[in-house]
């Protein structure tokens, strides 16, 4: 977290460490005044004022990065703009309850509903184990869903049960992106 000047540029740059890698961002603040011979030395008054503006921009960018490290706010705002309403992402642990809340013309039978809830609970446990730290359903990677389906096949389920699980996951994924 520092400011940087490049020889052939008229802009201030911010240097951040993101996931262990150095990231340099143009702050959009022009360098004004006379540059000192060394970065650690003081420049003229105009240069120091531009350094102050760059430091403010740096701190603002740093706060923004800290507030939204995962991009969750940006993703939520984008989804709200696209849909025109507030968007919530279901938690992985609430997957079975989310499935129960899907609007239907006719409620499912008790045996079918129980089977679906058990499949979704098995999927949630599998996904939580496979993708550590994931709490929201929307964060599940397609590879994890495929690995779950492979695990179901290895478990020895019948082709019909496997297809039912696949259809259930597809329906759950498609309705979770619309809610």
Q: Give the model's confidence band at 151: pLDDT under 50 very low, under 70 low, under 90 confident, else very high.
A: very high
Q: Is the pLDDT of residue 43 over 90?
A: no
Alpha carbons 121 and 168: distance in angstroms, whole number: 12
Please tell me which residue, 79 or 105, carries the higher pLDDT value.
105
Tokens 């760059």 — which residue? 54
What percent of the chain clears pLDDT 90, i.e. is strictly above it? 35
Nearest by Cα to 77 from 67, 65, 68, 87: 87
Q: What is the pTM of this model?
A: 0.54
- Give the model's pLDDT for residue 158: 93
Q: How far is CA 93 from the centre of its chain?
A: 18
Alpha carbons 133 and 161: distance in angstroms, whole number: 29
User: Which structural domains are found in the chain, ordered by start?
Assistant: 2-67 (no CATH), 88-176 (1.10.150)
Residue 25's SS3 state is strand
Supply the DSSP string of 112-129, one letter for each residue: HHHHHHHHHHHHHHHHHH
């Amino acid at each position: 977290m520092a400011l940087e000047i490049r020889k052939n540029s008229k802009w201030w740059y911010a240097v951040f460490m993101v996931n262990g890698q150095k990231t340099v961002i143009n702050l959009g603040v022009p360098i004004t005044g006379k540059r000192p011979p060394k970065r650690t030395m003081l420049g003229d008054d105009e240069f120091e004022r531009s350094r102050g503006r760059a430091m403010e921009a740096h701190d603002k960018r740093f706060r923004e990065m800290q507030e939204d490290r995962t991009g969750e706010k940006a993703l939520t705002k984008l989804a709200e703009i696209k849909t025109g309403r507030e968007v919530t992402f279901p938690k992985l642990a609430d997957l079975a309850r989310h499935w129960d809340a899907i609007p239907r013309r006719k409620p499912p039978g008790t045996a079918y509903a129980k089977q679906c809830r058990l499949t979704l609970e098995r999927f949630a446990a599998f996904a939580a184990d496979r993708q550590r730290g994931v709490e929201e359903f929307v964060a599940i990677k397609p590879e994890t869903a495929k690995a779950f389906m492979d695990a179901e096949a290895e478990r020895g389920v019948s082709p019909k049960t496997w297809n039912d699980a696949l259809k259930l996951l597809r329906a759950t994924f498609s309705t979770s992106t619309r809610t």
